[in-house]
Structure 1
Amino acid sequence: MSAPDNIEAIMRTAPVIPVLVVEDIGHARETAEALVEGGLKVLEVTLRTEHALEAIKRMNLVPGAIVGAGTVTNPDQLHAAVDAGSEFIVSPGLTEKLGTAAVKSRIPFLPGIANSGDIMRGMDLGLKHFKFFPAMANGGVPALKSLAAPFFQCKFCPTGGVSASNAPEWLAMEQVLCVGGSWVAPAGASPEEITRLAKEACELAPA
């Protein structure tokens, strides 16, 4: 998946995109294998640790995995993530500089937004798919419903405070294609536990 217009296809792959903070590079590939086995093929590796780019390379070796980089905040990080094999880019916010670089690179891009100004900035760049972040801290479902109404043509992936218990409420929104969450691969979990959590996440349905 590397066409510029397929971020929606990536978002529709499963109800949940695992948000991964890789502290132990030795477990990167087995974590990816466990998630894919459980049905979660789209994996967001956050650039929050020194191992992130190497983790992307290793996870890319897992058959069926669609690996992208998260917490991308500037063009240099974007290019480094693409060079490491990222198939999509996720950012916590949206600047004109980062947005322009992403559009120019033709990489599927999911920028973070928190308000109407962010969305309008993205739309000016030709973007229609956004990460609502941090979802719960920004007012939860009622806040996104209010934002989504005037921007009916946009689609969203809420991330930040989303859990197995509240995900169905988010997924019930027509404009929400998926949610992002870290609960499917908690620190210290065994591959068997991660696979179980991934299978449960795949079965999540709108409330």
Structure 2
Amino acid sequence: MNIIKQHLTNNDCYKSATKMNIRGLMIHSVGCNVENPMNFIKSWNKAGIYKCVHAFVSTYAIYETLPYNYRGWHCGKGQKGSYNSGYIGVELTEPKSIRYIKEGLFEDTDPIYTKRYVKQTYCLAVEYFAYLCNIFSLNPLKPYTILSHSEAHKLGYASDHSDVEHLWNYVGLTMNNFRKDVNTKLLALDKNNTLINH
């Protein structure tokens, strides 16, 4: 796993440097058919952008964009509050083969490519989330430790988005399986994370 540090030092969220105690991890997907994380990193690394996640996951690398103990701006606010405080937010890039009709609904121009791409980002996210769970002593199977944006919304702590299930369910993936896969990977990690490249 390759983690590339690309902190968004010009983003207002980064500059606010609000610290948080890490209670869990939230997974998102970008909501557009842009595969290259650098497109987001370049466009978000300036003042006046009121969003910021801790990392982007592509098919080949993870781009770390915010220190983990900084409060991100990634899930908005729900009826009960916001999980921006306490949750590391991670965005998965999405395949160029889909075309959004409206939020959460898309057309697929190449189902074989789409399925392969989504499963590649899924596998890298499993490895990355296991790495984060290991660092912060999080149990991926404990309720509310790993959530999707849509799950956080249903709990009342995020804005009304459908990610990541709108894309994962389409290719046969689920959040429950993700948590189980993260746990399996976590158990396989040694204490020194020797498989991790920084």
TM over 0.5: no
Higher helix residue share? 1
More contact order relative to length (CA 8 Å, sep ≥ 6): 2
* Normalised TM-score (structure 2): 0.30
TM-score by length of 1: 0.29
